[in-house]
């Protein structure tokens, strides 16, 4: 199967390890000291990350590599480690593999021209759409107005450009949906509901907002939360949000809000009282040690067991106290449905729907014959049947930021550092020709030592864009470079020509898409007052 081929190519792809390993922090460190503690993730700050590894350790983003195998027909950005991290992407990958409902959504602030960094996200949306996911692209006009101070006229102009490029790259507007935040009433309504579950202290902690922060800026945050959950309004489904890691604070908040909206929380328990995860794992331990399902295990006996064998461990003190207080109550593993926001009808419906042995309390129901997954599914079904949303926590995937062509970071305010999708093809050619490279001082040295492809923005252009789906070509450039067979002059000439061709082709397609865009149901002229 083609899937297998891809894996093999992915596995032997040399620069993937270099891109992912990143221990020395060479290229992706963007020149700053390796290991520097510059890991604040700020959605409105400058988009640099000094050390991608810290994102795993400090923020709990997971390594994409670990789940690459689960993805059918993975995109080249996945195979090459450009998409380096994720949250909960397995839920989406499973649907892509097995054919259930899934969605993809990302948003763009129309603050300037769309550039080759945005192209990565456009490609990610389009790829998911081609794999069968419901696809959404949105213009974050409220955010651009509130957080960046753009006028509506500027926003209208740039919005068109983003949409044309997304269409030109292959987004199917008949299958997918394009919208702008300001005119999507459903998004606004959902934002309002979500706003009831978040408060200012939290915004302060997450985003560093303070007494000077505009109310509209805060509103743009709840709007983004609504964007992220919007694909689940008709029906809950695993949804992936492809973004840069600077957006991770938004993703985490959206995952929290999705959970806070749920009618029921499904957890595990061992007796009538609540316990922390650490306490629960000790209780499981005691339960098994004392004979498990075959024995009649009592809480007080479990307390004794923990006192004897687990004193001092994390959670032991709490577990022992709770178990001792419960005395002769039987200790038995069970699934617990906690009532979070359920209406009384929904709570009754849940009780009726739980099969097998169950015990009903004021604010929870314990089920003895359900697995965790069955319980999750049941909780969602009852919620949706009773007028709730039943949201899945949204998933995310994170891509690396491209290095600027002039070294340092790619910045929209430094035209030479990036290539706009609207640049004249000749201008694109010139920018590539003028780019910084990872080459040596002299040709002789380059032949002897090889070039430093891992530190070369031109190599990045090949890997992120110019080589397209052709892993062999990207590998060849890499190996020829580090092997000293490739010299920068010729290499840049080739890249510049490919860039010129890409831009010419892309712009031709953009023109063809003008008509298509006219047919799309989206307001291209803001109905708002100027200013």
Q: By CB under 6 A, is residue 456 in contact with ligand SF4?
A: yes
Distant-in-sequence, close-in-space partners of 320: CB < 8 Å, separation ≥ 6: 303, 306, 307, 311
Task: Provide the H-helix boundaries in 131-184.
Answer: 141-148, 152-168
Site pattern 261..280 for ligand SF4 (x: CB under 6 A): --------------------
Angle at 35 between CA 17 and CA 477, to 5 degrees: 30
CB of 75 vs ligand SF4, minimal distance in Å: 22
Instruction: In whole angstroms, give the CA distance from residue 370 to residue 392.
Output: 20
Tell which positions 318-357 bind ligand SF4, by CB under 6 A.
Answer: none
CB of 121 vs ligand TRP, minimal distance in Å: 8
Q: Which does 228 bind (CB under 5 to 8 A by kind): ligand SF4, ligand TRP, none?
A: ligand TRP
Do 77 and 464 touch, CB atoms closer than 8 A?
yes
Q: By CB under 6 A, is residue 248 in contact with ligand TRP?
A: no
Q: By CB under 6 A, is residue 438 in contact with ligand SF4?
A: yes
Q: Which does 241 bind (CB under 5 to 8 A by kind): ligand SF4, ligand TRP, none?
A: ligand TRP
C-beta closer to ligand TRP: residue 123 or 143: 143
Q: By CB under 6 A, is residue 109 in contact with ligand TRP?
A: yes
Angle between helices 2-11 and 471-482 (to 10 degrees): 10
Do 245 and 55 touch, CB atoms closer than 8 A?
yes
CB of 140 vs ligand TRP, minimal distance in Å: 4
C-beta closer to ligand TRP: residue 247 or 403: 247
# residues contacting ligand SF4 (CB under 6 A): 14
Q: By CB under 6 A, is residue 454 in contact with ligand TRP?
A: no
Please identify which residue in the block is written with the tokens 């694109």: 428
Q: By CB under 6 A, is residue 453 in contact with ligand SF4?
A: yes
Q: Which does 224 bind (CB under 5 to 8 A by kind): ligand SF4, ligand TRP, none?
A: ligand TRP
Do 333 and 281 touch, CB atoms closer than 8 A?
no
**Interacting residue with ligand TRP among 10, 30, 81, 107 (CB under 6 A):** 107
C-beta closer to ligand TRP: residue 228 or 326: 228
Tell which positions 32-71 bind ligand TRP, by CB under 6 A.
Answer: 43
- Taking alpha carbons only, the member of 235, 266, 174, 232 closest to residue 395 is 232
Angle at 154 between CA 244 and CA 114, to 5 degrees: 35
Instruction: In whole angstroms, give the CA distance from residue 416 to residue 404.
Output: 8
Do 522 and 163 touch, CB atoms closer than 8 A?
yes
Instruction: In whole angstroms, give the CA distance from residue 125 to residue 77.
Output: 12
C-beta closer to ligand TRP: residue 243 or 326: 243
Do 101 and 237 touch, CB atoms closer than 8 A?
yes
Instruction: In whole angstroms, give the CA distance from residue 102 to residue 131.
Output: 10
End-to-end distance of the chain based on CA atoms, in angstroms?
56
**Interacting residue with ligand SF4 among 129, 220, 247, 437 (CB under 6 A):** 437
Instruction: In whole angstroms, give the CA distance from residue 400 to residue 414.
Output: 19
**Interacting residue with ligand SF4 among 481, 498, 503, 513 (CB under 6 A):** 481
Extract the runs of DSSP E, i.e. beta strands, from 329-484: 334-339, 358-360, 364-367, 395-399
Q: By CB under 6 A, is residue 114 in contact with ligand SF4?
A: no
CB of 16 vs ligand SF4, minimal distance in Å: 16
Q: Which does 492 bind (CB under 5 to 8 A by kind): ligand TRP, ligand SF4, none?
A: ligand SF4
Task: Provide the H-helix boundaries in 386-424.
Answer: none
Q: Which does 456 bind (CB under 5 to 8 A by kind): ligand SF4, ligand TRP, none?
A: ligand SF4
Instruction: In whole angstroms, give the CA distance from residue 309 to residue 302.
Output: 10
The single-letter DSSP state of residue 463 is I
Q: By CB under 6 A, is residue 228 in contact with ligand TRP?
A: yes
Q: By CB under 6 A, is residue 225 in contact with ligand TRP?
A: no
Count CB neighbours of 444 within 10 A: 10
Q: Which does 488 bind (CB under 5 to 8 A by kind): ligand SF4, ligand TRP, none?
A: ligand SF4
Please identify which residue in the block is written with the tokens 């064998």: 309
Site pattern 126..145 for ligand TRP (x: CB under 6 A): ------------x-x--x--
**Interacting residue with ligand TRP among 50, 131, 184, 224 (CB under 6 A):** 224
Pairing of strands 134-139, 103-108: parallel
Q: By CB under 6 A, is residue 404 in contact with ligand SF4?
A: no
Distant-in-sequence, close-in-space partners of 389: CB < 8 Å, separation ≥ 6: 229, 232, 233, 236, 261, 262, 383
**Interacting residue with ligand SF4 among 118, 158, 486, 506 (CB under 6 A):** 486
Q: By CB under 6 A, is residue 165 in contact with ligand TRP?
A: no
Binding residues for ligand TRP (CB under 6 A): 43, 105-109, 138, 140, 143, 224, 227-228, 241, 243, 247
Binding residues for ligand SF4 (CB under 6 A): 437-439, 451-453, 456, 458-459, 481, 486, 488, 491-492
């Amino acid at each position: 199967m083609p899937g297998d081929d891809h894996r093999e190519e992915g596995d032997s792809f040399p620069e993937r390890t270099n891109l992912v390993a990143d221990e020395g922090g060479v290229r992706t460190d963007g020149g700053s000291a390796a290991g520097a503690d510059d890991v604040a993730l700020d959605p409105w700050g400058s988009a640099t990350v000094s050390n991608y590894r810290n994102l795993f350790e400090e923020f709990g983003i997971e390594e994409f590599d670990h789940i690459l195998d689960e993805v059918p027909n993975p995109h080249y950005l996945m195979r090459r480690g450009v998409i380096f991290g994720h949250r909960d992407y397995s839920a989406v990958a499973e649907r892509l593999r097995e054919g259930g409902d899934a969605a993809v959504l990302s948003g763009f602030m129309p603050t300037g021209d769309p550039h080759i960094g945005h192209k990565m996200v456009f490609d990610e949306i389009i790829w998911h759409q081609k794999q069968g996911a419901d696809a959404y692209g949105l213009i974050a006009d409220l955010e651009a107005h509130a957080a960046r101070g753009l006028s509506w006229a500027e926003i209208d102009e740039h919005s068109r450009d983003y949409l044309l490029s997304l269409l030109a790259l292959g987004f199917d507007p008949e299958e997918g949906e394009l919208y702008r935040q300001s005119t999507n009433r459903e998004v606004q309504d959902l934002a309002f509901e979500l706003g009831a579950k978040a408060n200012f202290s939290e915004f302060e902690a997450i985003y560093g907002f303070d007494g000077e922060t505009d109310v509209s800026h805060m509103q743009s945050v709840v709007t983004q939360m609504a964007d992220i959950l919007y694909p689940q309004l008709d029906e809950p489904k695993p949804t992936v949000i492809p973004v840069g890691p600077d957006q991770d604070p938004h993703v985490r908040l959206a995952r929290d809000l999705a959970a806070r909206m749920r009618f029921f929380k499904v957890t595990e328990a061992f007796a009538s009282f609540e316990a922390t995860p650490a306490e629960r794992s000790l209780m499981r331990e005691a339960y098994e040690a004392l004979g498990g399902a075959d024995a009649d295990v009592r809480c007080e006996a479990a307390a004794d067991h923990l006192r004897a064998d687990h004193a001092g461990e994390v959670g032991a003190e709490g577990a022992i106290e709770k178990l001792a207080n419960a005395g002769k109550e039987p200790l038995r593993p069970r699934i617990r449905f906690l009532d979070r926001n359920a209406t009384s009808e929904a709570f009754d419906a849940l009780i009726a729907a739980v099969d097998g042995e169950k015990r009903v309390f004021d604010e929870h129901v314990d089920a003895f014959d359900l697995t965790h997954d069955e319980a999750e599914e049941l909780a969602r079904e009852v919620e949706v049947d009773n007028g709730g949303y039943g949201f899945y926590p949204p998933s995310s995937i994170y891509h690396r930021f491209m290095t600027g062509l002039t070294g340092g970071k790619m910045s929209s305010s430094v035209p030479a550092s990036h290539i706009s999708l609207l640049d004249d093809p000749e201008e694109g050619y010139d920018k590539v020709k003028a780019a910084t490279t990872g080459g040596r001082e002299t040709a002789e040295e380059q032949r002897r030592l090889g070039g430093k492809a891992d530190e070369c923005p031109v190599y990045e252009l090949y890997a992120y864009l110019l080589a397209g789906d052709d892993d062999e070509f990207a590998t060849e450039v890499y190996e020829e470079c580090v092997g000293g067979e490739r010299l920068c002059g010729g290499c840049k000439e080739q890249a510049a020509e490919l860039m010129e061709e890409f831009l010419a082709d892309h712009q031709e397609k953009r023109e063809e898409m003008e008509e298509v865009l006219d047919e799309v149901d989206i307001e291209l002229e803001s109905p708002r007052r100027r200013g």
